[in-house]
Structure 1
Amino acid sequence: MGASGWDYHVEYQPDLGKALRELRARVFAEGDYWWAEPCEFGKSAMDFPNRPRTEEELWSSELVRESGTHSILDMHEIVRPGENPDYCTVEPVTEAEALRSAGVGLASLTRAHVDRIEGLAERRWFGRCAVLHDDAGRPAEIYFWGASGD
């Protein structure tokens, strides 16, 4: 099947880890992920009434652990400043990356810059995130994106 790209915009909150946890919970509840057990391409978990009821149940499947969900569910934590990104982690965009990719600092990133920063998610099974600002320069949302699944 290969990896799938995914992206999400969520309302801004200062705790990126909490934002990730809430996004994961929403995606799971909505069934907006690929479920490897029925292994039907072109369908999401929401197409199956018998889909897992908990994430624990979902990840108990060896097939799911090997193939992933092709969604944010494959990402488990936010990388802290100074830490190296690891498999299944989300790394926030750095000031240097924002300047190099979008030509603006982190405090000036907006939705208009998304196409310029998307290339920062270069590796499969790793995610990225960035705080996006409104026209007045206030943090407005968090953009999560990456690619995962096999």
Structure 2
Amino acid sequence: MGASSWWYVTRYQEDFGQALRVLQDEVLASGDFVDPAEWGMPVLRSPVDLFENEIYWEFLGTCGTHSVLDVNRVIDAEAAPELGAVLPVSVAEVLERYGTDQPTRDDLVGPDEQLPMMDTMPKWSGACMVLYADGVPDEIAFWGVSGD
């Protein structure tokens, strides 16, 4: 199937891990992902199943869902990128990319937009950053790369 990128925006929560779980539940409910059931596996009932139920491990490691379901945790912004993890973008990188430490959803609009770290992140991982509205945290953007 090849590698593909994905990105989503969800409402802001202080806890990025909780925001990730809420977003994953929304994506699972939407059906907008490569479904392991199409590969003869049981219907995916929870995003957690991909990482905790070994019946899905080969699927996850070879094809994946090509969505935010392919990551399972948010790690510290100072950490190195990890397989299956979402890394928050540093303030320095946000400033360099957008000229402000408070980017808005409008800053992401445009077909040529290159999200921070997209060309350097390993497959099966992601990144995130806070988006602001009127100087207040409003949303969190999540993006990443899935597939082989």
Q: Same fold (TM over 0.5)?
A: yes
Distance in 1 of aligned mates of 2:44 and 2:71: 18
Distance in 2 of aligned mates of 1:69 and 1:30: 13
TM-fit CA distance, 1:121: 1.8
1:7 aligned residue? 7
SS class of match (2:29): helix
1:131 aligned residue? 130
8 Å CA contact 1:24–1:73 kept in 2: the answer is yes
1:65 aligned residue? 60
Q: Give the alignment's TM-score, normalised by structure 1.
A: 0.79
SS class of match (1:19): helix
C-alpha offsets along residues 81-102 of structure 1, whole Å, 9 cap, x if unaligned?
3222201111111111011111
2:106 aligned residue? 112
Unaligned runs of 5+ in 1: 40-49
Q: Give the alignment's TM-score, normalised by structure 2.
A: 0.80
* Amino acid of the structure 1 residue aligned with 2:146: S
1:148 aligned residue? 146
- Cα separation, partners in 2 of 1:72 and 1:59, compared to 1, 3 Å: farther
Unaligned runs of 5+ in 2: none
2:34 aligned residue? 34
* Amino acid of the structure 1 residue aligned with 2:106: A
TM-fit CA distance, 1:131: 0.5
- Cα separation, partners in 2 of 1:149 and 1:80, compared to 1, 3 Å: same
- After the TM superposition, which parts of structure 1 deviate over 4 Å for at least 4 consecutive aligned residues? none
- Cα separation, partners in 2 of 1:144 and 1:59, compared to 1, 3 Å: farther
Distance in 2 of aligned mates of 1:27 and 1:114: 20
State whether structure 2 residue 96 is matched by structure 1 residue 100.
Answer: yes
> Please, what is the CA RMSD of the aligned residues?
2.2
Q: State, as a whole percentage, how many aligned pairs show the same letter.
A: 36
